[in-house]
């Protein structure tokens, strides 16, 4: 995921959002509200707080004041994800009439719920004094209608559309912005009861308004104020505004989780971590109910990202095959058709990112959609193959067969730029991504001496994905009775495997280089990337153990996870986005790689480190990434200031760790579930898996650790399927 953009954009960038570590989030579908703990988005905040819809901030200020002061927080809760509750109290007050009100004698209960394109808010003020209190309550509001890229500090916008002055009439306040993309965006706030007064400012760059109430609270008495904020975006070309659609009901909120395999363990803390991660995946659902997708992360990546949703679906496949199916279909629909350098689009390529804000619609950024990803197409093939292994859904393979053909054709036509058999990238778009693997920040791929690697760049993990994609495609072609083509792809994968080892192995370091650069020279930095190669099976058997142990040495493994870059490298920075931080999804893929390498003890150490780290994050929720400081330095994982939380592939990382420990390898076309060397980590004594889907059958399993050994029992089986214990971890 990109933190920084190529230098051209950076040079003219506005101040970036600084810190969202203690942000409070509620979200449903495409609307989310990000605030501080009190539930406020302070006017002029630089944290990115506000109310968002489709990459636009519809409210940039949303702040409550009592007698001109901010109340004190007692409680802030967002347990239900679409609803927040804050309990606030007063600081010491001296009211305009001289009356003194001692601190903590007034209470404010603030509830909010997001539903459809609306946020409803209820504020109840209660007086615990033995005397009546008259209070001035103010709601300060601002709407900058800024694009998320501007909020994030990536793009400076010099020319904006028309900002209308706020309108207030009959208890309804409206902010409106006519974008240069011919879209009218509006934020309408309906107050109940009507405020005592409402003042507005504008037209200014950021129009503001203050709704004020004068309320009297009798001793022990309370009063409620409520408001509804409605967001709308319509085309200015339309003759009539879009009629308001009925908001979808929140009943059935957890329905998308209903068909997934359930996991319960003896460890209540771990159960709570898992439960949070499942709710996070639900929260991250975006798009329509009919065609949902998992947004990559909140707040910066609240949209469709190819790589992110593919890796999320891949990690989570054994728990939720339906998520993989909808992901495959949606990305197939958006598969590249044209050769468009502006968007780094090529026929057959799977997209990187789909933005829907003003800048993307104007073409000021190339992301609506953007195809600058070297791995998403390979991951799409991989996921299609893995989905077939898990479900035996041949109908889906047939349905997506033409997309598979186009993806395979892309590998040859545009993926392998120089015909050397490796897939490499170079950015063609003037505003695109310089680096197009998962470490896609502009400085994400560096030489040992700190120089930036020059494209075209062939990444180590991308060749591994290519290997697995070729083998996966061969299996799918076999299923479609195209045996000759399947054989060709397998032969090609064998040649790739041999060439890969020769080209990427660094004998002195006994590890793989992160990449080959423009001159086909190794980029000889020690990174986490080769761990992905372990998982994909491209690493020769005799090197697996060496690579696995190297990943877990102290310079890479902090104690809380494997760093993106070794701390011995010149470019290492524990707070560098891709240069030393720790990413949960990366570690989950490494865990599966360690499993494939037969290194269960290392897998335990990695799993335990991430489990320990999770306990230190608010809500037991793993963020997108955290800093790479050694565990021995501070004893706690150090939070990255602007990490997305939640982040889809971080939430799904637990599924990857569990799959590795439980040894689950579905082989649905053979009506078989293979279990390879089950081995629970030390912090789990037993694990129960229920409703595990293998094809059209379901299996319940119970794992029990006895000393150093893990036993597994089949508790129930529904449908025609068998369970086989196997020694090797090889999906082929």
Partner 1 sequence: MSAVTPGQRTIVVVEDDPEIRELEVFLLGAEGYRVVGLPDGERVVEAVQKNAADLVLLDLMLPKRSGNVVLQDLSRDETARNVPVIVVSAYTRQLSRTPQVQRVLNKPFDVTDLLDAVHEALTH
Residue closer to partner 1 by CB (options 45, 78) is 78
Residue closer to partner 1 by CB (options 200, 222) is 222
Q: b/e for 284-300, b at 16 or more Cβ within 10 A?
A: bbbbeeeebbbbbbbbb
Determine the Cα–Cα distance for residues 180 and 183; give it in Å rounded to an integer.
7
Which residues, in sequence order, are bridge partners of residue 69? Answer: 66
Residue closer to partner 1 by CB (options 112, 356) is 112
Residue closer to partner 1 by CB (options 124, 182) is 124
Interface residues with partner 1 (CB under 8 A)? 79-80, 83, 85, 109, 111, 113, 115, 120, 122, 124, 126, 192, 222, 224, 226, 247, 249-254
Residue closer to partner 1 by CB (options 134, 192) is 192
Q: Closest separation between CB of residue 21 and partner 1, Å?
A: 26
Determine the Cα–Cα distance for residues 367 and 370; give it in Å rounded to an integer.
4
DSSP string covering 308-333 = HHHHHHHHTTTT-HHHHHHHHHHHHH
Q: Closest separation between CB of residue 658 and partner 1, Å?
A: 24
Q: Closest separation between CB of residue 137 and partner 1, Å?
A: 17
Classify residue 558 by its DSSP letter: -
- The 3-state secondary structure of 260-292 reads CCEEEECCHHHHHHHHHHHHHHHHCEEECCCCE
Q: Closest separation between CB of residue 712 and partner 1, Å?
A: 32
Q: Closest separation between CB of residue 258 and partner 1, Å?
A: 11
Residue closer to partner 1 by CB (options 43, 113) is 113
> Is-contact 371 346, C-beta < 8 A?
yes
- Three-state DSSP class for 216? strand
Q: Closest separation between CB of residue 280 and partner 1, Å?
A: 15
Residue closer to partner 1 by CB (options 157, 172) is 172
Measuring CA to CA, which residue among 262, 185, 150 is closest to residue 702?
262
CB atoms within 10 A of CB 482: 16
Determine the Cα–Cα distance for residues 533 and 421; give it in Å rounded to an integer.
16
Residue closer to partner 1 by CB (options 114, 676) is 114
Could you give phi then psi for residue 636, rounded to 5 degrees? -135, 155
Q: Closest separation between CB of residue 283 and partner 1, Å?
A: 12
Counting Cβ atoms within 10 Å, is residue 583 exposed (0-12), middle (13-18) or buried (19+)? buried
Beta strand 672-676 with 722-726: parallel, antiparallel or unpaired? parallel
Q: Closest separation between CB of residue 78 and partner 1, Å?
A: 11
Q: Closest separation between CB of residue 85 and partner 1, Å?
A: 7
E strand intervals along 570-696: 664-667, 672-676, 686-694
Residues in the chain: 732
Measuring CA to CA, which residue among 58, 116, 55, 53 is closest to residue 245?
116
Residue closer to partner 1 by CB (options 64, 638) is 64
Q: Closest separation between CB of residue 82 and partner 1, Å?
A: 8
- Three-state DSSP class for 69? strand
Residue closer to partner 1 by CB (options 252, 682) is 252
Which residues, in sequence order, are bridge partners of residue 672? Answer: 667, 722
Name the packing angle between helices 376-391 and 321-333 (round to 10°).
140
Determine the Cα–Cα distance for residues 487 and 501; give it in Å rounded to an integer.
22
Q: Closest separation between CB of residue 571 and partner 1, Å?
A: 46
> Is-contact 61 74, C-beta < 8 A?
no
Counting Cβ atoms within 10 Å, is residue 481 exposed (0-12), middle (13-18) or buried (19+)? exposed
Residue closer to partner 1 by CB (options 226, 698) is 226
């Amino acid at each position: 995921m990109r933190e920084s953009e190529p230098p051209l954009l950076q040079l003219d960038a506005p101040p970036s959002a600084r810190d969202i570590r203690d942000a409070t989030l509620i979200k449903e579908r495409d609307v989310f509200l990000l605030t501080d703990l009190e539930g406020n988005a302070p006017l002029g905040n630089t944290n990115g707080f506000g109310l968002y819809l489709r990459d636009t901030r519809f409210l940039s200020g949303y702040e409550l004041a009592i007698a001109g002061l901010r109340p004190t927080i007692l409680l802030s809760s967002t347990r239900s994800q679409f609803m927040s509750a804050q309990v606030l109290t007063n600081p010491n007050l001296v009211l305009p009439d001289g009356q003194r009100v001692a601190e903590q004698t007034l209470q404010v209960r603030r509830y909010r719920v997001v539903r459809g394109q609306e946020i409803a808010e209820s504020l109840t003020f209660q007086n615990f004094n033995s005397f009546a209190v008259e209070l001035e309550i103010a709601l300060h509001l601002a709407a900058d209608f800024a694009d998320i890229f501007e909020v994030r500090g990536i793009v400076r916008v010099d020319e904006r559309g028309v900002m209308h002055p706020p309108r207030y009439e009959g208890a309804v306040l409206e902010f409106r912005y006519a974008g240069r993309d011919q879209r009218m965006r509006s934020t309408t706030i309906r107050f109940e009861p009507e405020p005592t007064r409402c003042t507005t400012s504008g037209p200014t760059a950021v129009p503001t308004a203050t709704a004020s109430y004068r309320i009297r609270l009798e001793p022990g008495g309370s009063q409620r104020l409520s408001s509804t904020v409605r967001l709308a975006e319509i085309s200015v070309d339309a003759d009539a505004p879009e009629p308001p659609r009925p908001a979808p009901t929140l009943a059935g909120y957890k329905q998308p989780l209903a068909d997934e395999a359930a996991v319960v363990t003896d460890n209540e803390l771990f159960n709570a971590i898992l439960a949070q991660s499942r709710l996070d995946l639900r929260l991250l659902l975006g798009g329509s109910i009919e065609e949902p997708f998992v947004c990559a992360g909140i707040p910066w990546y609240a949209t469709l990202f190819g790589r992110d949703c593919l890796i999320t679906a891949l990690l989570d496949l054994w728990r939720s095959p339906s998520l993989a199916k909808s992901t495959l279909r949606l990305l197939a629909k958006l598969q590249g058709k044209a050769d468009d350098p502006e968007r780094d689009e090529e026929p057959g390529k799977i997209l990187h990112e789909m933005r829907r804000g003003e800048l993307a619609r104007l073409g000021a950024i190339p992301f609506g959609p953007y195809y600058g990803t070297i791995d998403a197409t390979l991951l799409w093939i991989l996921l299609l193959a893995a989905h077939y292994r898990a479900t035996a859904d041949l109908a889906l393979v047939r349905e997506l067969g033409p997309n598979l053909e186009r993806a395979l054709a892309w590998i040859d036509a545009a993926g392998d730029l120089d015909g050397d058999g490796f897939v490499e990238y170079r950015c063609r778009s003037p505003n695109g991504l310089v680096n197009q693997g998962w470490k896609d920040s502009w400085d994400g791929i560096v030489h040992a001496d700190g120089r930036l690697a020059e494209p075209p760049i062939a990444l180590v993990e991308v060749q591994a994905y290519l290997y697995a994609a070729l083998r996966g495609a061969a299996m799918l072609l076999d299923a479609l009775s195209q045996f000759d083509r399947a054989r060709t792809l397998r032969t090609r994968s064998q040649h790739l495997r041999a060439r890969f080892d020769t080209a990427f192995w660094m004998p002195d370091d006994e590890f793989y280089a992160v990449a080959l650069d423009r001159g086909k020279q190794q980029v000889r930095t020690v990174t986490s990337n080769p761990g992905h190669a372990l998982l994909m099976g491209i690493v020769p058997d005799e090197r697996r153990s060496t690579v696995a142990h190297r990943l877990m040495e102290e310079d890479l493994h902090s104690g809380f996870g494997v760093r993106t870059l070794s701390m011995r490298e010149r470019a290492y920075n524990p707070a560098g986005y891709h240069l030393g931080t720790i990413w949960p999804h990366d570690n989950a893929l490494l865990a599966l790689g360690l499993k494939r390498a037969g290194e269960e003890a290392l897998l335990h150490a990695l799993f335990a480190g991430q489990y320990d780290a999770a306990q230190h994050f608010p809500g037991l929720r793993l963020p997108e990434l955290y800093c790479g400081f050694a565990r021995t330095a501070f004893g706690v994982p150090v939070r990255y200031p602007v990490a997305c939380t939640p982040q889809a592939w971080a939430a799904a990382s637990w599924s990857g760790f569990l799959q590795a420990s439980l040894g689950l390898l579905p082989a649905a076309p053979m009506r078989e579930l293979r279990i390879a060397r089950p081995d629970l980590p030390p912090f789990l004594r037993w694990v129960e898996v229920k409703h595990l889907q293998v094809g059209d059958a379901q299996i319940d399993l119970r794992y029990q650790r006895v000393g150093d050994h893990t036993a597994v029992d089949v508790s129930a089986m529904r449908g025609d399927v068998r369970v086989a214990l196997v020694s090797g971890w090889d999906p082929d």
